[in-house]
Amino acid sequence: MIIGYQEWRELLFIHWRVPLETLRPRVHPRLSIDERDGSAWVSMTPFTLRRGRLRGLPPLPDFHELNFRTYVTIGDVPGIWFFSLDAANPLAVAAARLSARLPYFPARMERGDGWYRSERTLAHGHFDARWTVSGAELRAAPGSLEEFLCERYALYSPALGRVLWRGPVRHEPWPLIPARVVEIHEDLSAAAGLAPLGEPALAHWSSGVSVAFEHFRPC
């Protein structure tokens, strides 16, 4: 059952290769960490959330968001595990922490053409990136690395004890344009207990998608 809607717009995917063993202590024990091309992957995705609303309620004001995640599977359902989510809407942060137990943090955020900046207001955590975009828009080919990293239609969240929740999402495939990260400074990885990530392996820009959310349910 659909319970809410959002638009994820003007989004940058930034991807790094990381050794799987560095992620294992920071991911729920019931989840398998996915590997591709000999390594696990983590990503940071700054974007603007537009027209977010729960079913039957008026929309929220638009706000910026940034998530830091890795790629996981339980059973035969691939999805995303979040190390952190930063958002420039304190009300949305509180609601997501209480309802879905997702690791949201309030942050001051701003963006412009080819740049994005975020600074947490109550904890250490900053992100500052600049990028360029070039090439034709594409959709991820079946079996490609882009499909592995971008086309994920479930997110996972811890509940009480060892209980794990899955939140399915629905949207069209991402429209992607190759991007090059010119400059990036961040300590979100350090805040999550990871080593410095270094230079990204891959990046894509997307104009975004419209998203429908289903109920969270226990796995």
Domain segments of the chain as ranges = 2-212
Q: Indicate if the alpha-carbon torsion angle 47, 51, 53, 58 is positive or negative.
A: positive
Q: What is the average pLDDT value for the chain, to the nearest integer?
A: 94
What is the per-residue pLDDT for 160?
65
Provide the whole-model pTM. Answer: 0.94
Strands, E, within the chain: which ranges? 2-18, 32-33, 40-54, 63-74, 77-87, 104-112, 115-120, 126-133, 154-158, 164-170, 177-186, 202-214, 217-218
pLDDT digits (tens, 9 = 90+) for 73-85: 999 999 999 999 9
Average pLDDT over residues 126-146: 96
Structure tokens at 70: 């890795």
Give the model confidence (pLDDT) of 20-39 as tens digits. 999 999 999 999 999 999 99
High-pLDDT (> 70) share of the chain, %: 99
Encoded tokens for 18? 């990381």
Percent of the chain with pLDDT over 90: 82
Residue 161's pLDDT band (cuts 50, 70, 90) = low
**CATH number of the domain located at residue range(s) 2-212 in this protein:** 2.40.400.10
* C-alpha dist (Å) from residue 43 to 18, 24, 61, 95, 205: 10, 16, 26, 24, 13
**Token reading at 167:** 């939140």
Number of Cβ atoms within 10 Å of the Cβ of 164 = 17
